[in-house]
Amino acid sequence: MSDATLSLVVLAGTVALFVWNRLPVGLVAVLSALAVYATGLVDAPTAVGGFGDPVVVFIAALFVIAAGLERSGVTAWAGRTLVQHAGTTWGRLLVAIMALTALLAAVVTPNGGAAAMLPVVVLAARRARLRPSALLMPTAYAASAGALLALSGSPVNVIVSDALYAETGRRFGFFEFALVGVPLVLVTTAVAALVGRRLLPERQPHEEAADLSDHLETILEHYRLDEGFTRAAVRAASPLVGASVDGLALTEGIALVGVQRADGEPGAAGDRLAPGDVLVVTGSSSRVGRLVAEHGLDVVATPVTRATRESLLSREAGVGEVVVPPRSALVGQKVFPGQVRRNGLTVLAVHRLGHDLGAQPADVEQGDMLLLHGPWDAVAGLAQDDDVLVVDDPALVRQQNAPLGPAAWRALGVLVVTVALFASGVTAPAVAALVGAAGMVLLRVLSEREVYRAVSWQTVVLIGGLIPLSVAIQTSGAADELARHLVALVGDGGTRVLFAAIFGLTVVLGQFVSNAATVLVVTPIALAAAHDAGVGAAPMLMLVAVAGAASFLTPIATPANMIVMGPGGYRFGDYWRLGIVTTAVWFVVAIGLIPLVWST
């Protein structure tokens, strides 16, 4: 068996395993790399070299940049702005959602754009009294189209750009993809707006994403927070030093909620006050002011109430609602409104069986609900606290409610620098992306742990494992053999007929294999066909990029389609109706436009 035939057998086996869908896609990619090594098609360095390829580094860094924009609230802010200005009319809302999704996809990849827009679209659908299924599939399609607006939009763009450099010594420009990407975004949006109502299914989702955009109003309605508390620390020269906690004579109209010792523990009856102890009191501001002046106290925290709602959910601080589970270490501990816990969070209210326990100390019982307030990092830490159960995800609360803070502006600054490096061509794309990823960490937008969680290791392994197969197809002569058959099949049909054949091959394969994997496999075949037919590499590779992004017919064609499947309540067969029309329009645009823009 010749090397060319052997590489095609490995390719057929790889595609079959992808379609079978019983093995993890990353494992299939690794098995393909091992297969081309075991059969002698590539040597050992080539078999493992895909994992160190600049394309893989670039893609991993892009995941980190996307996570920084999401973690800092930039994507959620963009979504909130959309909902506020787009209104509730289906057509207007659809166009606005698809436009924003396309722009996000150009920066944070289609998967990142679809994931970031998912809660926004569900929220918009709910407010417009629409089912999410009327908006989510077009959102995924817009993400695929938006990937063709810039080099950073998709791993596919990087793959074909690197292939062009290897073939001609030049890469596609950062925004060169937009020459075909902008028309594709426009026609994708037009198709969804014109025929989407008839082709989109009406499905009820199995579960809906949480809508926490009115979280503050919900909290205020449930906990009231009409009267707040003041925390006042005892000075060393205060006449209260040495006084008994249960025998304090305070200013008239002031109620003592509790005492917290300097070490954080609550004061007990019979304890005597010491410098640094904190009195938690309620009362009017004038009477609290008189108390502070008369007794030598320092105000360390002012009341947090519905009247100061801006401080409840701000850039720096937020609220967390928790339930005390059985066997929690909190059970039996004394708490009271105004108490600062060891995690830096202040207790605003304590409810038991739906009733407010009021401004007084209480021993915690299982099932009690505590409303806590403090820095966002501390609020977010509640999700990892085994002693409490978080009612609403603090990360979602922050993303859907908090205004943009310093971290958002730092993330945007990193993005601007990264895009500038991409567009200028000063350095290689992988280096520019690494600069952006490192900037997210250096400027404390992301922590080290968040960086590792941000990277889709499945995608990294998938692409790294398939690169050796792509090399084997090219070096074994299989690409040339397939290309000759393809050119012979096309005959004298001309460039556009050849383009149509390559487009069809890529689209069909891409409905069952990831678009990145599809493009890695098709690229050497397309280049060989272009060479045999006397067609330029640039238009052929741009065609492959467009066809690789046309992942509309099945939910497994791209992760963006999978992301919206559950929230939209879609079934496997729901995608092809709108998808086939969208694919047909893409075919017309690609075949008609690409040969005009890029010389053949």
Q: Given this model, what pLDDT does residue 443 score?
A: 94
For the ranges 247-251, 295-299, 369-373, the lowest mean pLDDT is seen at 247-251
pLDDT at 202 over 60: yes
Distant-in-sequence, close-in-space partners of 305: CB < 8 Å, separation ≥ 6? 225, 226, 227, 228
Residues 112, 147 contacting (CB under 8 angstroms) = no
Chain centroid, CA 129 distance in Å: 25
Q: Say what angle helices 74-86 and 406-424 make with each other, to 10 degrees.
A: 100
HSE-up (13 A, CA, CB side) for residue 574: 22
For the segment 378-403, what is each residue's pLDDT rounded down to a tens digit? 998 998 899 999 998 887 787 777 77
Of residues 363 and 559, more confidently modeled: 363
Residue 306 has, within 13 A of its CA and on its CB side, a CA count of 12
Domain ranges in the chain are 229-303, 311-392
Q: Is the pLDDT assigned to residue 425 strictly greater than 70?
A: no
| Rounded distance between C-alpha atoms, residue 335 and residue 342, angstroms | 12
The pLDDT of residue 87 is 75
Encoded tokens for 179: 């020459």
Q: What is the pLDDT of residue 433?
A: 85
- Residue 61's Cα: distance from chain center in Å? 14
Q: Is the pLDDT of residue 298 over 80?
A: yes
| Residue-level pLDDT at 343 | 85
Contact in structure between 232 and 240 (CB atoms under 8 Å): no
Separation CA 546–CA 149 (nearest Å): 11
Indicate the CATH number for domain 229-303: 3.30.70.1450
Confidence label for 45 from pLDDT (cuts 50, 70 and 90): very high
Give the pLDDT of residue 160: 92
CB within 8 Å of 29: residues ≥ 6 apart:
14, 461, 462, 463, 464, 465, 466, 517
Distances (CA, A) of 350 to 224, 330, 426, 580: 12, 13, 58, 56
Residue 556 confidence (pLDDT): 67
Q: Do domains 229-303 and 311-392 have the same CATH topology?
A: yes
Q: Residue 209: which pLDDT band, with cuts at 50, 70 and 90?
A: low
**Cβ pair 32, 48 in contact under 8 A:** no
Q: What is the mean pLDDT of the chain?
A: 85
Token pair belonging to 567: 């929230």
CATH class in words for 311-392 = alpha beta
* Residue 157, Cβ density class (10 Å: 0-12 exposed, 13-18 middle, ≥19 buried): buried
Confidence check: pLDDT of 539 > 90: yes
Query: Residue 486 is encoded by which pair of tokens?
Result: 């393809």
Nearest to 146 by CA among 174, 122, 110, 175: 110
pLDDT tens profile 124-162: 787 777 888 889 999 999 999 999 998 878 888 988 998
- Following DSSP, what letter does each residue of 522-583 receive, concatenated? HHHHHHHHHHHHT--HHHHHHHHHHHHH---SSTTS-HHHHHHHHHHT--GGGHHHHHHHHH
- What does the alpha-carbon distance between residue 570 and residue 582 come to, in Å, rounded to a whole number? 18
